[in-house]
Amino acid sequence: MTMTEITRKQPLRVAVIGAGFMARAHSHAWRTAPRFFDLSREPQLAVLVSRDAERGRQAAHTWGWESWSDDWAAVIDRADIDVVDICTPGDTHAEIAIAALRAGKHVLCEKPLANDPADAADMVAAAELAERRGIIAMCGYSYRRTPALALARRLIDEGALGTIRHVRAQYLQDWLSDADAPHTWRLDRAAAGSGALGDIGAHSIDTAQWLTGDRIDGVSAHLRTFVSSRPRRSAEVGLGGTGDLDGARVPVDVDDAAAFIAGFAGGALGVFEATRMALGRRNANRIEINGDRGAIAFDFERMNELEFYSEDDAPDRRGFRRIQATDPTHPYASAWWPTGHGLGYEHTFIHQVVDFVGSLDGVGASPSFAEALQVQRVLAAVEESAADEGRYTRVR
């Protein structure tokens, strides 16, 4: 009988801050990424941080973390931590990320980067200083890591769409359609910065700018709040919370829906919509881009598929074709299952970990904090425009 010891790679010790839905997705990703991808370092789930003792202990146990803490500042000071992964509401991002970068930790921070451009700019300054010491900072716009969208990016980079004229992006959810759906921190301006706009519209803005390689430089926007107060819950886990209702209602001070047209610096025209009240649409993160040579269309509710139209096809067979982005030639796909077997939401976070660890080898983390700051500036311009009845507003 022979027995050989498995040689392990250099560990990458991770601390996740948060114990909600996102921390759960990230925990799974840190654990799974090295099981399917050949990473240069071996992520280790060192410590989960949560203010809530019971929830933190439980989450750390269930998701496979070595330990739990209620003190993020102490965790950041620990010499054995390499990465700080921030999965808390937006109002806490700047303080934690800046402290972590100063302490020499690599940072992965959930989107949107912050609740306003000023905090985001401070985070960019800290990231740029840290980068000189080989420390990386990345923002978690996870949809970039959907294979079908990464394929769209490849097609656009190759010139298959030609000059981009139209960007049509909608992010439609319906989990807040019911006026009695409970209040959550995602409806609290102090914690979340904005409503559907920053929560899901930010994804569309990032995706659109990343796919086109262009930036939005002006917007004309409208925001709506359809339900002005919601039942209070004693605790919150996942979307909408799980704690008991106590009969009180909490005011909603963010948008339920956002709609805006956008001018791109390169001349393309964009139309954006973000809502968590589009009844029947569960997580329809959609984008369609038309150029003068071709077009792509994508809907996350069919996340394994990309529609592609090309003027290069013979005239008698032109039309959108439906590509299943599950072939080994497609981005990320060769690490997974046989062609056609499909991936899910969680895979985008696994790919995010793969790219994050990859960027430690000097590839350059993207979306960088600077890219995420540009998204923040668009969000701010949308709010400014909406406050002025849709006046066309420059992104500054």
Which tokens hold the place of 177?
């359609």
- Of 124 and 200, the one with the shorter C-beta distance to ligand SOE is 200
- Of 145 and 276, nearer to ligand SOE (C-beta) is 276
Q: Is 299 in the site for ligand SOE (CB under 6 A)?
A: no
Question: To the nearest whole angstrom, how small is the minimum distance from the Cβ of residue 95 to ligand SOE?
Answer: 20
Here's the x/- map for ligand SOE, 112-131, by CB under 6 A: it reads as: --------------------
Produce one character per residue of 343-354: b if its CB has 16 or more CB atoms within 10 Å, e if not: beeebbbbbbbb
Binding mask 11-50 for ligand SOE (x = CB under 6 A): ----------------------------------------
- Measured distance CA(377)–CA(331) in Å, rounded: 30
Which residue of the chain is nearest ligand SOE when measured via CB? 199
Size of the residue set binding ligand SOE (CB under 6 A): 5
Tokens representing 27 are 């925990």
Question: Which residues in the 165-184 window bind ligand SOE by CB under 6 A?
Answer: 173
What is the x/- site pattern for ligand SOE, positions 200-219, by CB under 6 A? Answer: x-------------------
Between 106 and 276, name the residue whose CB sits nearer to ligand SOE. Answer: 276
**Element at 45 (helix H, strand E):** strand 42-49
**Whole-number Å distance between alpha carbons of 344 and 325:** 12
| CB atoms near residue 19 (< 10 Å) | 27
Of residues 76-115, those binding ligand SOE (CB under 6 A) = none
| Least distance in angstroms from the C-beta of 195 to ligand SOE | 10
CA 17 → CA 50, 51, 101, 210, 298, distances in Å? Answer: 6, 9, 14, 27, 32
Touching ligand SOE, residues 216-245 (CB under 6 A) = 239
Tell me how far apart the alpha carbons of residues 384 and 393 are, in angstroms, rounded to a whole number. 7
d(Cα 284, Cα 164) in Å, to the nearest integer?
Answer: 23
3-class DSSP state of 300: helix
Main-chain phi, psi angles of 42, to 5 degrees: -105, 105
> Under 8 Å CB-to-CB from 267, ≥6 apart: which residues?
165
Residues 269-288 that bind ligand SOE (CB under 6 A): 276
Residue placing its CB nearer to ligand SOE in the complex, 44 or 352: 352
Give the shortest CB-140-to-ligand SOE separation in angstroms: 8
Closest contact distance (angstroms) between CB of 176 and ligand SOE is 9
The binder of ligand SOE chosen from 85, 91, 116, 199 (CB under 6 A): 199
Distances (CA, A) of 176 to 22, 38, 111, 139, 366: 18, 40, 20, 26, 31
Chain contacts with ligand SOE (rule: CB under 6 A): 173, 199-200, 239, 276
